[in-house]
Amino acid sequence: MITLALAGKPNCGKSTFFKAATMAHAEIANYPFTTIDANFGVGYVRAVCPCRGLDLTCQACSGGIRYVAVNLIDVAGLVPEAHKGKGLGNQFLDHLRQADAIIHVIDASGGTDSEGNSVEPGSHDPLGDIQFLEYEMAMWVYGILEKHWQKISRSAQSKTYPIEKGVAEALAGLGIREHDITAAETATGVPLVKCQGETLVTFCHHLITISKPMLHIGNKVDETSDALIKRLSDADIHFVSAASELALRNAAAGQLITYHPGDPSFTIAKEETLSPGQKAGLARIKALMERFDGTGVQQTINKMVFGELDMIVVYPVEDENHFTDGKGRVLPDAFLMKKGSTPHDLAFQVHTDIGKGFLYAIDARKKMRIRESHVLADGDIIKIVSTAK
C-alpha cells in the first residue's frame, strides 16, 4: 500500500487534514507540538467504480464512487533547522523516510509564523514557507552523506566500489532507490566522485525532489485574504480547507447532510433539524466549495496519487464473466498500481505465489487474453490465471 505523509510546520492544519481524511483521532489543538509522534491512519483516493458502466450491483463502492485505501502519516510539526536537531529534530525527518510522497501543508492564511506559532492571519508570508521543507530534507540527507563521505569516496577512488552503491548504502532505509541516485547525479551535472560541499548539497536537493514527490498545499483558505490567494495561486499552490472537510464529514456522519468526500458540493438532509449556527456554517462551506471546487482534501490525495505518483486503479477478479471473486462478490478488490504496470505485476501484487505461477491474464471487459507485457489501463478488470491458487 502506498504511504503519503502530511508534513509542515506546527499549526498549519496537518492533524485536521489527517483527521478529516481518515476520520481517526489525532489530537487537534492550537499550539506547537501537540502531536509528539507521527499518527498513522488510512485515507482514501477516490475513483469511479467500473460497476455502473457495466450495469452491475457492487457492494464495494458507494453509489459508483470507489474509495481505495492509502496510508497516511500525520508527521509531527517541522521547524526550520530541524536537520540540526531543532524542535523535535530528526524524528520528523525519520518519519518522512517511510513515505512514498509528501503533502506539504502550508498555512495559506499567513496565520502561522516561521516557527509554527499562531499569529494574526496575514502577518506572515506563506510563500516563504514553500521551499523550507525541501531544504530541511535535503540538508538532512546531506548530513548523513557527509558523515560517510570520506569513506564512500575513498572506496570509489580505489575503484573497488561504484560511488552510487556507496551512497545507496549510506541512505539505505530512506526509501531511496539506486536509479533515483543516478537520476539525481545527472540532474546535478557533476559526477558524484567530484561532489563535495555545495555540489553535494545540490545533489541531495535533486535526490529529495526525485525520490519523494511533494505537493505544496495552502490550507485555511477559508481565512485567507484575496491578495494572498492571488499570490499563492500564481505559485501554483492548491487550496484546501481541512477544517471545512472535517465539518462536512462530521455532518455527514450525523446524517445532517449528504456528502461523499471529493464531491464539489453537498445537500442538506433536513433543513429544519439544523440550528441557525449550523446553517450559517454550512452556507459558508458551500460558498467556499463553489469557489475552490470542493474543500481540497480529497482533491489533494487524488492529485498526489493519480498525478504526482502516476498511478491507476486495476480490479482483479476470479470470474471474468460475472466480474466476481470466488465468493460471488462483484469487483471485490481495487489495486493502485504505477502506470506502465503489466498483468504480471498485478499478479505479484495480489500474491507472490500468484505472481510466481503466472500463466496468462484475461481482460474481463473484452473477454480477451492479454500478453504478459501488456500495459494495464486505469479501470481495467483483470482475471489472472496462475498455477497457484
Ligand X SMILES: Nc1nc2c(ncn2[C@@H]2O[C@H](COP(=O)(O)OP(=O)(O)O)[C@@H](O)[C@H]2O)c(=O)[nH]1
β-pair partners for 40: 73
Closest to ligand X by CB, 33 vs 348, is 33
> Using CB under 6 A as the criterion, what x/- string covers residues 35-74 for binding ligand X?
x---------------------------------------
8 Å CB contact between 379 and 313: yes
In degrees and rounded to multiples of 5, residue 102 shows phi and psi of -125, 125
Closest to ligand X by CB, 149 vs 292, is 292
Task: Rule CB under 5 A: choose which of 6, 9, 15, 350 binds Mg ion.
Answer: 15
Report what 261 binds from ligand X, Mg ion, none; CB cut-off 5-8 Å by kind: none
| Residues near 7 by beta carbon (within 8 Å), at least 6 away in sequence | 14, 75, 78, 92, 96, 102, 103, 104, 105, 133
**Angle made by CA atoms 309, 312, 314, in degrees to the nearest 5:** 145
Task: Rule CB under 6 A: choose which of 1, 29, 42, 359 binds ligand X.
Answer: 29
**Residue closest to 178 by CA, chosen among 165, 195, 187:** 165
Report what 220 binds from Mg ion, ligand X, none; CB cut-off 5-8 Å by kind: ligand X
Task: Rule CB under 6 A: choose which of 77, 87, 126, 332 binds ligand X.
Answer: 77
- Establish if 295 lies at the interface with Mg ion (CB under 5 A): no
Q: How far is the CB of 176 from ligand X (least distance, A)?
A: 26
Q: How far is the CB of 294 from ligand X (least distance, A)?
A: 13
Q: Where are the beta strands (DSSP E) in the chain?
A: 3-7, 39-48, 65-74, 101-107, 214-219, 238-239, 257-258, 267-268, 311-317, 335-338, 358-363, 368-370, 381-386
Q: Which amino acid type is present at position 45? A: V
Closest to ligand X by CB, 223 vs 378, is 223
**Residue closest to 379 by CA, chosen among 4, 61, 59:** 61
Q: Which amino acid type is present at position 357? A: G
Q: How far is the CB of 85 from Mg ion (least distance, A)?
A: 20
Closest to Mg ion by CB, 24 vs 269, is 24
The single residue listed with the C-alpha cell 449556527 is 277
Compute how many residues bind Mg ion; rule: CB under 5 A. Answer: 3
Closest to Mg ion by CB, 14 vs 220, is 14
Q: How far is the CB of 269 from ligand X (least distance, A)?
A: 24
State the pairing for strand pair 381-386/311-317. parallel
In this chain, which stretch among 27-35, 135-143, 170-178, 351-359 interacts with ligand X, using CB under 6 A?
A: 27-35
- Establish if 16 lies at the interface with ligand X (CB under 6 A): yes
Q: How far is the CB of 326 from Mg ion (least distance, A)?
A: 43
> Using CB under 6 A as the criterion, what x/- string covers residues 212-251 for binding ligand X?
-------xx-xx-----------------xxx--------
- Grid coordinates belonging to 172: 539505505
- Establish if 129 lies at the interface with ligand X (CB under 6 A): no
**Residue closest to 3 by CA, chosen among 67, 71, 103:** 71
- Establish if 34 lies at the interface with ligand X (CB under 6 A): yes
3-state secondary structure of 260: coil
**Angle made by CA atoms 96, 99, 103, in degrees to the nearest 5:** 80
Closest to ligand X by CB, 13 vs 316, is 13
Question: How far apart, in Å, are the Cα atoms of 244 and each of 76, 220, 241, 336, 350?
Answer: 22, 9, 5, 28, 37
Report what 112 binds from ligand X, Mg ion, none; CB cut-off 5-8 Å by kind: none
Task: Rule CB under 5 A: choose which of 7, 21, 32, 35 binds Mg ion.
Answer: 35
The residues binding ligand X (CB under 6 A) are 10-16, 28-30, 34-35, 77, 219-220, 222-223, 241-243
